[in-house]
Amino acid sequence: MSQAQTGSMAGLKPQEVAFWLGKAVEWGQTESPDTQRDTCLHLGPLRAFLQLLLTDIHMRISTTETMRAIPFVGQFLGRLCWNPYVTADAESRSLLLQSLWSLYSEEPHNAVERKANQWIRNVLCQLATEEEDSATHMLVKHMGLPPKEYNVKVLRKMVWLLVEEVGESCSSLADPNQRCSCDSVLAASVACLPLVTCPETAPLIGALLQRPVTCDKTALSQDFLDAVSSAYSRKCVSLEAQAVVSLWCHNLASLEGAVMSLLDSVLSNPASIPHNLESTITHSLLPKACSQHGSIFLIVNDIFRSMLVQVEGNQTLLSLIHTFTICFLRELAALQPQECVSLKAFFPHTPQSLLAPLLTHPSEMAQEAWPEHLAWITASLQRLTEEEEEGNRGQCGVFEAWFLLVQCADWLEVASQLLVSARPQDCGPLLWLLTFYHHPTNRGHHRTQQLVAAREVWDHLRSLFLLSAPPLPADRLQSLAELMSAVPQQPSLDSLLVVSLLGNFAVFSHNPLSGAREIVRMVVQRSGLVREAVCVLDMVELRLNRERASTSLTDRVTLRTRALRGTLTHMAQHDTHTHGTT
């Protein structure tokens, strides 16, 4: 027997229908706290059912057919229309109204459809214009208040009163005579489930989230937290920053969701970095939350760590972690002194000897002190790696140290900058640091080879930028380009390391700009790493902006950076133009 013949609902199961019909009747009959609570807790499933119902109605040819197939529909929708918990929630309300409109016939063919039309128009008119309390309505009219404005003001006043009360923490621990108010706040949080997306009640949602936690009873229901979290990730609710931080404190899933969302938006759009990176990260509110709650910072870093393991060698991810840490440290510094926690709490796994040196920003010390500082850092790292290889320490030590280096990558760029002017006898530790950054694990013990390769690159660059006069030695250019485009499988140097060195040499050396331009252009063209080179230059510029106060050579260098970047961008455009789509 086909379904069309029996006229039964396609996606709707009879027991489901019976269940929801029963609920609609039950909710309409009494207004006890229990029924109200029941309605709120069933909102999610109700939405799903309404969606099924709507789909079903859409499949029908006419309202007459609908009324024959699902005769309960009118009564059901009608009951729900008068349930404020259903109509306050944006999604249920929308589904409800859509269903009603689906039952409306533009050209009614018979009495049933005409009656349905009339009923629908009636319900809508009543919903929008009926005033419950006629005495109050008369007063409103005589005071010259437009009814809509009056209703909005009453709502705002109610929200304001509740916000005040919710904000008072329960003092039952301090004063046993006072009754704990957490139970009623818990009930209130359930009652607010339909109001999570309503803009006027946002202050109340925020107040509930930020309620001071002073007793061990839970004051916020899990359903409430899940609803807010879901609405926040869909950008359906506007919460102030502190409320969002509180949400994350209460609900781990929403914090993880926020971190994944940040990672997603950054990693899926690498072209937007690095300039927008800082603002994207700041807008996510995660650095602020991390600075206020060490536990949040630890969780975020854990997620970063697991991403690093999954997506090895992703420069975007490394930049993200670096910029995130910068934002975090900035937020931390902005906190009131009494709220400050020692840095050890935020970096519990890192070898303590490296913590202070790496977390000190290059701009906090004189440029002359940089080489010595870096030498110290490098020596510590070398010691760590040797100990690990000898089996003395766990693997964690080196990884954590490397992770901290990633977080404080400004030092790495400083090392690159210093390499431009370093003497041959001083370049060792700096090259080691760079190699370590790009190849933290000494798999297959290739580090020695990598160091040799790095030295070679450095030699080439030095001779190109510092020693030669035009015309440029073609063979040196060729070998440099070859180094950069080496096959990834070989344990050769990371091409990014080479590009980074190239960029730094171009920016910080003193040879004429035209010469530098030519070198960069030729090498990058042969290796094809235009985007990476542009990225390196952007990072140099950003770092210089951060250190604006301390460095003396900013103007000259900034101009060079911009000019070189211009050349590369022009090259990239020219390339795509001549070769069509890349």
Partner 1 sequence: MEAIVKNVERTTELLAVSQTETVQRWDKQTLDRAFQWTQYCQHVYTRFHANPTVRDILEKQLQVTNESLRTTFHGYTDITFSDLSQCQHLLLVGLLNNAAVPSSVVKLLFDTITVGGKYKDATGHCTELIEVKSACKVLSAIHLKRSTSFPGSDADVLGMTLMEMLDILLSPATGASKVGLAEKLLDNLLQTCGENENFSGVVAAALLSRKNNNTAAATTTTKMASEGVSFHFILDWLQQHHSLLHNMCSTLPIGLLMDLHQQSLRFRVTYGDMLKQWGSQLEYDVGEGEWVQMYTTDGVSFKTLSDHYRSLLGACPSTKEDVERELTELKVADGDFDVRGLSIWGDLLSELNTV
- What's the burial of 404, exposed, middle or buried (CB within 10 Å: 0-12/13-18/19+)? buried
| Residue 148 beta carbon to partner 1: minimum distance, rounded to whole angstroms | 6
Identify the residue among 11, 22, 45, 147 touching partner 1 (CB under 8 A).
147
| Residue 76 beta carbon to partner 1: minimum distance, rounded to whole angstroms | 18
Q: Is 183 in the site for partner 1 (CB under 8 A)?
A: no
Q: Give the separation between CA 239 and CA 246, rounded to whole angstroms.
A: 10
The answer to whether 230 and 194 are in contact (CB under 8 A) is no
Q: What angle do CA 70, 73, 77 make, to 5 degrees?
A: 165
Q: Is 206 in the site for partner 1 (CB under 8 A)?
A: no
Q: Is 459 in the site for partner 1 (CB under 8 A)?
A: no
| Residue 21 beta carbon to partner 1: minimum distance, rounded to whole angstroms | 22
Binding track over 50-79 against partner 1, x by CB under 8 A: ------------------------------
Nearest of 174, 176, 196 to residue 40 by alpha carbon: 196
Residues 6+ apart with CB under 8 A from 447: 435, 436, 439
Q: Give the separation between CA 500 and CA 457, rounded to whole angstroms.
A: 11
Stretch that binds partner 1, among 129-137, 290-298, 460-468, 487-495 (CB under 8 A): 129-137
- Give CA separation, 469 vs 169, 420, 472, 481, 514, in Å: 75, 17, 7, 19, 12
Q: Is 166 in the site for partner 1 (CB under 8 A)?
A: yes
What's the chain's length in residues?
582
Nearest of 79, 5, 95, 75 to residue 39 by alpha carbon: 79
| Residue 325 beta carbon to partner 1: minimum distance, rounded to whole angstroms | 35
Identify the residue among 70, 88, 273, 281 touching partner 1 (CB under 8 A).
88
Q: Give the separation between CA 535 and CA 529, rounded to whole angstroms.
A: 10
Q: Give the separation between CA 480 and CA 460, rounded to whole angstroms.
A: 7
Considering beta carbons, is residue 165 or 372 the nearer one to partner 1?
165
Contacting partner 1 within 12-51 (CB under 8 A): 31, 33, 36
Considering beta carbons, is residue 43 or 285 the nearer one to partner 1?
43
Q: Is 165 in the site for partner 1 (CB under 8 A)?
A: yes
Considering beta carbons, is residue 4 or 145 the nearer one to partner 1?
145
Q: Give the separation between CA 195 and CA 87, rounded to whole angstroms.
A: 10
| Residue 165 beta carbon to partner 1: minimum distance, rounded to whole angstroms | 5
Identify the residue among 26, 164, 264, 426 touching partner 1 (CB under 8 A).
164
| Residue 119 beta carbon to partner 1: minimum distance, rounded to whole angstroms | 12
What is the dihedral angle through the alpha carbons of 257, 260, 265, 271, rounded to the nearest 10 degrees?
Answer: 170
Identify the residue among 185, 290, 329, 332 touching partner 1 (CB under 8 A).
185
Q: Is 194 in the site for partner 1 (CB under 8 A)?
A: yes
Considering beta carbons, is residue 48 or 161 the nearer one to partner 1?
161
Q: Give the separation between CA 395 and CA 250, rounded to whole angstroms.
A: 33
Binding track over 93-122 against partner 1, x by CB under 8 A: xx--x---x--x-x-----------x--x-
Q: Is 235 in the site for partner 1 (CB under 8 A)?
A: no
Q: Is 171 in the site for partner 1 (CB under 8 A)?
A: no
Q: Is 198 in the site for partner 1 (CB under 8 A)?
A: yes
Considering beta carbons, is residue 88 or 414 the nearer one to partner 1?
88
- Judged by CB under 8 A, the number of residues near partner 1 is 62
Identify the residue among 13, 109, 153, 570 touching partner 1 (CB under 8 A).
153
| Residue 168 beta carbon to partner 1: minimum distance, rounded to whole angstroms | 8
| Residue 158 beta carbon to partner 1: minimum distance, rounded to whole angstroms | 5
User: Please, what's the largest Cα pairwise distance for the chain?
Assistant: 98
The answer to whether 77 and 100 are in contact (CB under 8 A) is yes
Looking at residue 23, its amino acid is: K
* Helix, strand, coil percent values for the chain (each to nearest 5): 75, 0, 25
| Residue 27 beta carbon to partner 1: minimum distance, rounded to whole angstroms | 13
Taking the CA of residue 151 as centre, how many other CA atoms within 13 Å lie in the half-sphere pointing to its CB? 10
The helix (H) or strand (E) run that includes residue 248 is helix 241-250
Q: Is 303 in the site for partner 1 (CB under 8 A)?
A: no
Considering beta carbons, is residue 165 or 302 the nearer one to partner 1?
165
Q: Is 140 in the site for partner 1 (CB under 8 A)?
A: yes
In b/e form, how buried is each residue of 13-34, taking b as 16+ CB within 10 angstroms? Answer: eeebbeebeebbeebeeeeeee
Angle between helices 111-129 and 90-102 (to 10 degrees): 150
Q: Give the separation between CA 275 and CA 50, rounded to whole angstroms.
A: 45
Considering beta carbons, is residue 98 or 353 the nearer one to partner 1?
98
Residues 6+ apart with CB under 8 A from 293: 245, 249
The answer to whether 96 and 87 are in contact (CB under 8 A) is yes
Stretch that binds partner 1, among 18-26, 158-166, 353-361, 515-523 (CB under 8 A): 158-166
Considering beta carbons, is residue 81 or 477 the nearer one to partner 1?
81
Contacting partner 1 within 252-291 (CB under 8 A): none
Give the Cβ contact number of residue 363 at 10 Å.
16
| Interface with partner 1 (CB under 8 A) | 31, 33, 36, 84-85, 87-88, 90, 93-94, 97, 101, 104, 106, 118, 121, 124-125, 127-129, 133, 135-136, 138-148, 150-155, 157-159, 161-162, 164-166, 181, 184-185, 187-188, 191-192, 194-195, 198, 200-201, 204
